[in-house]
A and B are shown apart, each in its own frame.
Chain A
């Protein structure tokens, strides 16, 4: 049974139409003309318990609108949404007990109080049994290395420490689902890695379902086996990261270091890209020529010191999809829900 299920979920925002200019501004004070903006259009998806899903899309694509509907603070215009057996907007408070939320941009911790006091407050809010609270707190303190700053007022914490605090805060009541919105934004590499490991660990040990929205695709690559790609309110891809990579990431880069001087390399099957000193970059399509063949061809005409092969990362693939739109190389795009299975 899916833990999160949406069917033809749709949200239309209605805004007062603004006429430009001072006179127009005056006019909008009195006239009520509206424009409708479709933020989320017929989103159908389904998540099984324990899944780690990256929910990806450019700014304004409808990600946070979807998340708001899943957390129950926004009513859909039409369509169905069920989260852990509940309709979120109809049972907001009940739904709130099943979910945890982390926003990278805003904290749910008490600014003026020591970190530990925020945790105690959350214990009271969610009525976490004392034994459970102690176990969780001990475990999170260890995993997130929070021991040194539990007694520090939140306003004095570094961003990395605060984020770790926010993660613990979101997990203290053992939610079945956590929504993470840009959780690693602004963090340094070490802090990012600590957060990623924590997510993976929590998912593995507690079976927590994770929905991650982020612009940092390295997060997704590291954490999520599955991504849902949304653009202009519509799901354009829903499936495994590996699959999108193998379909879209057919372009490889071959970097050749020549042993006999600095010159450009031209062979059939690959496109010359750039050269720095005696290091030459070439692009080729894996479907047209194998790396092995290409290297042989280069070696036939040039003296090679070293070769490296670079796979495209998710970021460059997604960038390309934003730019060109997604079309399934195998033909027609099946409905996203179908791909998921």
Chain B
């Protein structure tokens, strides 16, 4: 019974597309940020702030790709859960013959696809504005796979944060903390090799690293091809763990509504 979920994704896509002005300002702001990042890193590298294993052109590539990934990963389809709990409309959702986690996933996915398409002009213009490395098709394919895994880990992380609202109603503070943690510790702002020694090891072992750091390392060629399967396996491991926890917590949440009233 995949039919409704495909439809949810399509509707989310259509819904996103209704806000046209936002779309265009978005592209503009992306280009501005790409340019700023290039200037920033060039200046920093001139001051010798660079880690040994990432040359400047790779760093600019990293920052640009991280930015574009962020446009997709920052979309949180599960935010609707929190809103619907607060408004009480979650009760009407539960009166439908559908799986709500899948519903929120498809909705978020539809939004993602829309924003992914939106990235295309940004990417093309970014290529004109700054020089970024484009790796071999094989590496690109591995990057795509790793990105997809990171996307799913990110989805479940968001999902877990948002269903906390079933207990607390308000999750904003938690949300903000996790967001910051995942941006910083996930490698969106900085490559994780900037973290020194033990700190670097710890940060690299956290689930956040699966979201930005792993795919980006693959993209900029910072890892040997032989290491890649291991990295993907780690991502897969986090994904399975997060999905499992999400399933359990969802069951509890659903039970909670159903036992105590929405």
Contact = CB atoms under 8 A, between A and B. Distances in A.
A127 B11 contact: no
Contact of B260 (A13, A89, A120): A13
Contact of A92 (B11, B89, B258, B259): B258
Contacts of B95: 71-73, 96, 99, 101
B163 to A, nearest CB: 16
Contacts of A96: 95-97
B8 interface: yes
Contacts of B18: 112-113, 153
A103 B87 CA distance: 14
A124 B261 contact: no
A73 B260 contact: no
B97 A73 contact: no
Contact of B15 (A73, A99, A106, A110): A110
B241 interface: no
A185 to B, nearest CB: 16
B97 A74 contact: no
A125 B94 contact: no
Question: Is the interface on chain B under 10, 10 to 19, 20 to 34, or 35 or more residues?
Answer: 20 to 34
B7 A120 contact: yes
A211 to B, nearest CB: 14
Contacts of A92: 94, 258
Interface in A113-144: 113, 117, 120-121, 124-127
Nearest to B259: A75
Contacts of B94: 72-73, 92
B197 interface: no
B11 A117 contact: yes
A319 interface: no
A126 B97 CA distance: 7
A121 B11 contact: yes
B178 interface: no
A89 B261 CA distance: 12
A113 B15 contact: yes
A75 B92 contact: no
Contacts of A113: 11, 14-15, 18
Interface in A1-24: 13-14
A278 interface: no
B142 interface: no
A68 B15 contact: no
B7 A13 contact: no
A103 to B, nearest CB: 7
Contacts, number: 71
B230 interface: no
Interface string B97-138: 110000000000000000000000000000000000000000
B75 to A, nearest CB: 16
Interface residues of A, number: 31
Given A74-B258, A124-B4, A112 B15 contact: yes
B261 A65 contact: yes
A126 B7 CA distance: 12
A93 interface: yes
Given A89-B258, A112-B15, A127 B3 contact: yes
Interface string A65-90: 10010011111000000000000010
Contacts of A73: 91, 94-95, 257-258, 262
A121 B261 contact: no
A320 interface: no
Interface in B160-182: none
A97 interface: yes
Contact of B261 (A13, A112, A127, A153): A13
A108 interface: yes
Contacts of B1: 127
Nearest to B1: A127
Contacts of A266: none
A96 B94 CA distance: 8
Contacts of B11: 110, 113, 117, 121
A67 to B, nearest CB: 10
- Central interface residue in B14, B94, B98, by most chain A CB within 10 Å: B94
A119 to B, nearest CB: 11
A94 interface: yes
- Central interface residue in A65, A106, A112, A127, by most chain B CB within 10 Å: A112
A68 B14 contact: no
Interface string B2-14: 0110111001001
A94 B95 CA distance: 10
B83 to A, nearest CB: 12
Contacts of A71: 95
Contact of A97 (B6, B8, B97, B258): B97
A11 to B, nearest CB: 8
A213 B261 CA distance: 18
Contacts of A68: 91, 261-262
- Ranked 5 nearest A-B pairs via Cβ: A124-B7, A96-B97, A124-B4, A93-B97, A73-B94
29 contacts: A13-B261, A14-B260, A68-B91, A68-B262, A71-B95, A73-B257, A74-B258, A74-B261, A74-B262, A92-B94, A93-B97, A93-B98, A96-B96, A99-B95, A101-B92, A101-B95, A103-B92, A106-B87, A106-B89, A112-B15, A112-B18, A117-B14, A121-B7, A121-B11, A124-B4, A125-B97, A127-B1, A127-B3, A153-B18
